[in-house]
Chains A and B, each alone.
Chain A
Amino acid sequence: NAGVMQNPRHLVRRRGQEARLRCSPMKGHSHVYWYRQLPEEGLKFMVYLQKENIIDESGMPKERFSAEFPKEGPSILRIQQVVRGDSAAYFCASSHRDRGGSPLHFGNGTRLTVT
């Protein structure tokens, strides 16, 4: 399966711990996007990255959240000192072009539960 791979599928953290979510884009894709989805809601944009660059982080909370997409390896979404409100499904998507008209392909998400 050459699709977008996310892991872990499920992650449980206690309040105050750190959560690290990983995303490997589709083969040949160099653009990665992170979205958050609360139950019964649509997906909300968080951040758009290319290799070693953050292109648009307008949807990222100002504190505790960070994302990277290094030259080698998967993209990482990191949430420090998690709180209950961080519980959600986090989806990663990838695309292969840096111009409009390139559909995003999504992974199956990481479901974060903060206890």
Chain B
Amino acid sequence: GQQLNQSPQSMFIQEGEDVSMNCTSSSIFNTWLWYKQEPGEGPVLLIALYKAGELTSNGRLTAQFGITRKDSFLNISASIPSDVGIYFCAGQLFGNEKLTFGTGTRLTIIP
């Protein structure tokens, strides 16, 4: 089946630093989504990408849908304490709404 590999698995950064994480797939997707999950809660949608090459921002977050449709990255600028959590990428195919999730990137901010 399809697999999504995220890197890095974990990040330890200082407040104010920029963050970059990416996601690669063995096959193409039509839609890429980025979610954030905090302890004890469900994933919350951050950004949705619908076209190859698309670059989309949501506040301090920026994500891009790779040209090959097999990868995506998420950047967070000027990190703040509330950015702590696990970030998941997810891919979706037309005609099949189910999402395939990546392995997650755990973000920790060092005081």
- Where the two chains meet, the residues of A that have a C-beta atom closer than 8 Å to any C-beta of B are 4, 6, 31, 33, 35, 41-45, 48, 56, 59, 91, 93, 95, 97-109
How many pairs of A and B residues are in contact by the CB < 8 Å rule? Answer: 71
Is B66 interfacial (CB-CB < 8 Å)? Answer: no
Residues of B near any A CB (own CB < 8 A): 30-31, 33, 35, 40-45, 48, 50, 88, 92-104
Among B30, B48, B98, chain A packs the most CB atoms within 10 A around the CB of B98
Residues of chain A lying within 8 A (CB to CB) of residue B31: 100-101, 103
Secondary structure class of chain B's binding surface, majority of residues:
strand
Separation in Å of the B59 CB from the closest CB of chain A? Answer: 17
The residues of B that contact A103 with a CB separation of less than 8 Å are 31, 33, 45, 48
Give the docked Cα–Cα distance between A80 and B50 (Å).
39
Q: A48-B97, A100-B97 known; 12 other A-B pairs, CB under 8 Å? A: A6-B42, A33-B98, A45-B98, A48-B96, A91-B43, A99-B94, A101-B30, A101-B92, A101-B94, A104-B33, A107-B42, A108-B42
Q: How far is the CA of A47 from the CA of B72 in the complex (A)?
A: 25
* Smallest CB gap from B92: residue in A: A100
In this complex, what residue of B is CB-closest to A104?
Answer: B99
